[in-house]
Structure 1
């Protein structure tokens, strides 16, 4: 699939992450395990790409933009730690549901903050051609991380 720029690619990934979260929430058993594994994989790749390509571009702007970039990095790291904890617990554990509910809220808030805070900064401070190049860089980082 061809993306206009890195922001379009990230919005598409956020939408897929939201869809997978809803799938985990409403599924059980083997289907929940599969959905959760796919969610964990996508979140890992998404965050890896953002750390390598997106957050540095945001942080190269103003002091306020730097703080926003750092905040998104901290949130992303916390989400990844929660995914690992829930994976170790297992989807059939009695505590998985409440732990996942908290993670789901954190993921939704994180994606919303990216879309409302970070992406507008990129649109303003990064030239359009660079945003197009960043989509390729993000894709490359994610392909390498998937191996």
Structure 2
């Protein structure tokens, strides 16, 4: 009787660092979206302080990191949190509309900052103004949206929303990587408006 050839074990291609990171987030994360976004609020505050305290290349690098986190954070809120708040929070449409208007004003200031020398007095003045606007905005979100969503949504749903938000951050690196030319790898390159578009594509799976 002819013996059947022994089947060789499958050897999968090793995951790249980018793929490993995304896989870890998608599978292992149990982050509550509220905890995640509040944590990002604290990181954003720290980046503002570092940018205002620094100068030259250091300030430029910190400002770039700040823009990146703001883009991912605001897009996650707009695509994941605000739609649920509209339906679950009392007077949700009004609450969300007010937050969107605040975000719009912040984006306008960011666009102005992108045109300025980071060491100019005008840059420092506008960055200080943006910092206060973002802090006020974050406080209103935490009070008017996050606190109410945490009581209206199940823990499982909050975790699903958290995984989506974390995945968006994981596939939005701060700079392009050599040899990885996909839109995802370059999602945080260019002006803030472009960052927002690419972060939104990353969340929706279009990247």
Fold shared by both chains (TM-score > 0.5) = yes
The equivalent residue for 1:72 is: 99
Hey, what's the Cα distance between the residues in 1 that align with 2:79 and 2:145?
15
Moved more, 34-43 or 81-90: 81-90
**Would you say the 8 A contact 2:85–2:149 is kept in 1?**
yes
**Would you say the 8 A contact 1:6–1:135 is kept in 2?**
yes
Quick check: which has more Rg, 1 or 2? 2
Hey, what's the Cα distance between the residues in 1 that align with 2:103 and 2:128?
16
The equivalent residue for 2:194 is: none
Classify the secondary structure of the residue corresponding to 2:121.
coil
**Would you say the 8 A contact 1:68–1:118 is kept in 2?**
yes
The equivalent residue for 1:7 is: 34
The equivalent residue for 2:140 is: 113
**1:136 is aligned to 2:140:** no
Moved more, 137-146 or 69-78: 137-146
Classify the secondary structure of the residue corresponding to 1:95.
helix
**In structure 2, which of residues 119, 128, 135 is the aligned counterpart of residue 101 of structure 1?**
128
**1:38 is aligned to 2:65:** yes
Classify the secondary structure of the residue corresponding to 1:89.
coil
Structure 2 unaligned blocks of 5 or more: 1-24, 172-183, 185-198
Q: 1:124 to 1:43 in 2, by over 3 A?
A: same
**1:59 is aligned to 2:89:** no
Structure 1 unaligned blocks of 5 or more: none
**In structure 1, which of residues 100, 103, 123 is the aligned counterpart of residue 150 of structure 2?**
123
Hey, what's the Cα distance between the residues in 2 that align with 1:38 and 1:3?
25
Hey, what's the Cα distance between the residues in 1 that align with 2:49 and 2:142?
19
RMSD: 1.9
**Would you say the 8 A contact 1:24–1:32 is kept in 2?**
yes
Structure having the higher helix fraction is: 1
Measure how far apart 1:124 and its partner are. 2.1
**Would you say the 8 A contact 2:99–2:141 is kept in 1?**
yes
The equivalent residue for 2:74 is: 47
Hey, what's the Cα distance between the residues in 1 that align with 2:50 and 2:67?
13
**In structure 1, which of residues 82, 91, 98 is the aligned counterpart of residue 118 of structure 2?**
91
What's the TM-score once normalised by structure 1's chain length?
0.90
The equivalent residue for 1:28 is: 55
Q: What is the number of residues matched between the two proteins?
A: 147
